[in-house]
Structures are given as C-alpha cells and as structure tokens.
C-alpha cells in the first residue's frame, strides 16, 4: 500500500499494488510465514532453502510458479470485469507512481522515460515483420489474445445483486496510517517479511497489524534492476473500528507501543518503538541474545543494518 505518487494536482490517496499479494504467495509457499519456524528443509546442504518459490532466482523451478502467475492474471481479469475495465483504453497509469519512470537503461528505453499504456513491451513482438511490439494497451482485453477464463466461485460477485452489494460496501474509515521505511533490501539475505505490531497495556502479546512481503534475491549485488529498487517500505492502515476497542475510554493513540519485525529465512529481527510523540524517530536498539518474538524482541547482532523508521502518514 503506497501513496498515489508525485502528482500534486490530486488529493492524497493510497493504493495496493497487485505485486504485494503476488509477493505474499511467493513467500507463503516458500516458507516465510511460518511463525517461529525456519529452515523448513532440515538437510544441511539445503539450509535456509525454505522452498524455491521464496526467492527470485529459484521461483520458476517450482511447478506451482506457473499456476500462481496464471491465478494472478485470472484475478486481474476478474477485477477488470467487476469494474468494467475490460476494453482497450479503460485502464491507465498513475502519474508519478513508483516504477513508472525508467531509472536504469533498458532495451529501447533510456533513463527518464515515462512509462504509459503505449510503451513498447520489449521483447514481445506483435508484428515481427514490421518490428512492432505489444504494449500494455494491447493486452487489456485478454480475449484479443485468444484466451479467457471459465466460470468459478468468484464469479458470484459479478452476478446481479451480489455485484451491486459488493461495490456498494463503504470503505472503513482509516484512523491511523503508519509507514515503516528506511529498510534496504541489500542488508538482508534473500526475501523477507516486514511485520508491524502494536501493543497496549493489558494485552498478553503484540497484535500483528500488517505484513508486507519483500520478494528478493540471495545476492542483489549482481542484479542491476535490484540496485534501483533497494529501498522498501510498508504502509499499515488502522481503521477506526479496530482502534476504538483497543484504546477504550482512557487511552490515546500516543499510548500505543509499536514494534517492527523483519522476518528473514532464518531469523526474526525485532525493533521496538517507545510510546509517545517521539516514537517515530527513535527505535530502541535490540538487546543481545535470542528471545521468542511474543516475549520480547528478537535481536541478533546489529550487523550494521539501519534501523527501520516508523512514521505517521496521518
């Protein structure tokens, strides 16, 4: 979930990229969501493997990779049908959104190129003789590519009254919006999950309020594209409906204690933030020794990593 980009002409709004749930399934199949369980493959020669799907270099070795990507395409198509965006011209890019401006030279696209629905999708040729490449606009309507999807359970949302009721559900008001940033993927080996927790007095253990999957590589140094996308972050909304019972009648938002856990393939690195107005700038350094996550923070040696920052977007 990120803000809409750099278009100052629009009021702020936030979107969830399809890439986030896509990455989440990669890491889930790859073993990164097993609370307190690491190194799913016990053989020492494969220590930390946790399944091929959990890493960019190896994901396509798992046959489920192709089913997963087909399902992402299916969900995108069903979203298009639900919102009436199946025809060419019905979709557009968000101006200034992350990834819509070329930062590193690629084939046919020099740095600074602003991507849009008509940018050529190299190397996918639409007309080989004429040297014409497909564009995003060409693939909005998948039926023009010679395929479609049969009916499934999710199609119930697209039928008559159910569709209207689904679209009429009002969004829950967001009371707080937290941003976790200052995280560099090069400082962590392989993929990881950014988990955000909150805790108020009287709670037995911290409450998980957000998980952002970061699908990465074992070695980002050898990946030119990775070098342009080293900074990662997580945005966590807290709705009014969730916040009210947590605070009760006496607590205020500044009384909430937050913690951020970076869960890698073999450890949880946990940072705790003090309550009060200064919590967003002063993460508490983790102590030495391994502590179960629910009993405190887990705290490998710092290893020179930057401490994540926790800010209020509103």
User: Residues 252, 230: contact at Cβ < 8 Å?
Assistant: no
Is 307's pLDDT higher than 80?
yes
Report the C-alpha gap between 189 and 196 in whole angstroms.
20
Supply the DSSP symbol for 272.
Answer: E
Is 255's pLDDT higher than 70?
yes
User: Residues 268, 261: contact at Cβ < 8 Å?
Assistant: yes
180 Cβ contact partners less than 8 Å away, ≥ 6 residues apart: 194, 196, 212, 233, 234, 235, 236, 260, 308, 309, 310
pTM of the shown model: 0.80
Which two three-digit tokens encode residue 285? 């350094």
Tell whether omega for the bond before 123 is within 30 degrees of 0, i.e. cis: yes
Report the C-alpha gap between 71 and 67 in whole angstroms.
6
User: Residues 82, 156: contact at Cβ < 8 Å?
Assistant: no
What is the tens place of the pLDDT at every residue in 2-29? Answer: 554 455 555 556 677 888 899 999 988 8
In which band, very low, low, confident or very high, does the pLDDT at 151 lie, cut at 50, 70 and 90?
confident
Give whole-number Cα distances, 59 to 63, 84, 90, in Å: 9, 33, 32
Parallel, antiparallel or unpaired: strands 120-127 and 132-135: antiparallel
Is 43's pLDDT higher than 60?
no
3-state secondary structure of 245: helix
What is the tens place of the pLDDT at every residue in 101-131? Answer: 887 767 788 888 889 999 999 899 999 999 9
Q: How far is CA 204 from the centre of its chain?
A: 28
Mean pLDDT of 199-210: 90
């Amino acid at each position: 979930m990120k803000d809409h980009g750099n278009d100052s002409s629009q009021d702020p709004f936030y979107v969830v990229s399809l890439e986030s749930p896509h990455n989440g399934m990669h890491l889930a199949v790859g073993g990164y969501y097993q609370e307190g369980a690491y190194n799913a493959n016990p053989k020492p020669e494969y220590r930390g493997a946790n399944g091929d799907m959990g890493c960019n270099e190896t994901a396509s070795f798992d046959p489920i990779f192709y089913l997963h990507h087909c399902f992402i395409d299916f969900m995108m198509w069903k979203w298009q049908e639900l919102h009436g965006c199946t025809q060419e011209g019905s979709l557009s890019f968000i101006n200034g959104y992350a990834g819509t401006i070329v930062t590193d030279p690629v084939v046919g696209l020099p740095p600074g190129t602003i991507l849009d629905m008509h940018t050529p999708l190299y190397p996918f040729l639409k007309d080989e003789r004429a040297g014409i490449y497909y564009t995003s606009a060409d693939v909005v309507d998948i039926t023009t590519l010679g395929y479609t999807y049969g009916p499934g359970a999710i199609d119930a949302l697209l039928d008559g009254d159910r569709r209207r009721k689904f679209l009429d559900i009002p969004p829950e008001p967001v009371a707080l919006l937290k941003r976790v940033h200052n995280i560099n993927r090069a400082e962590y080996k392989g993929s990881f999950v950014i988990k955000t927790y909150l805790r108020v007095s009287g709670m037995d253990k911290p409450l998980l309020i957000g998980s952002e999957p970061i699908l990465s590589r074992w070695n980002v140094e050898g990946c030119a594209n990775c070098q342009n996308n080293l900074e990662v972050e997580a945005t966590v909304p807290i709705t009014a409906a969730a916040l009210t019972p947590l605070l009760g009648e006496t607590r205020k938002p500044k009384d909430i204690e937050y913690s951020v856990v970076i869960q890698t393939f073999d450890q949880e690195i946990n940072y705790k933030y003090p309550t009060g107005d200064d919590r967003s700038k002063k993460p508490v350094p983790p102590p030495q020794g391994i502590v179960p996550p629910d009993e405190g923070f887990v705290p490998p040696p710092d290893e020179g990593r930057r401490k994540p920052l926790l800010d209020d977007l509103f």
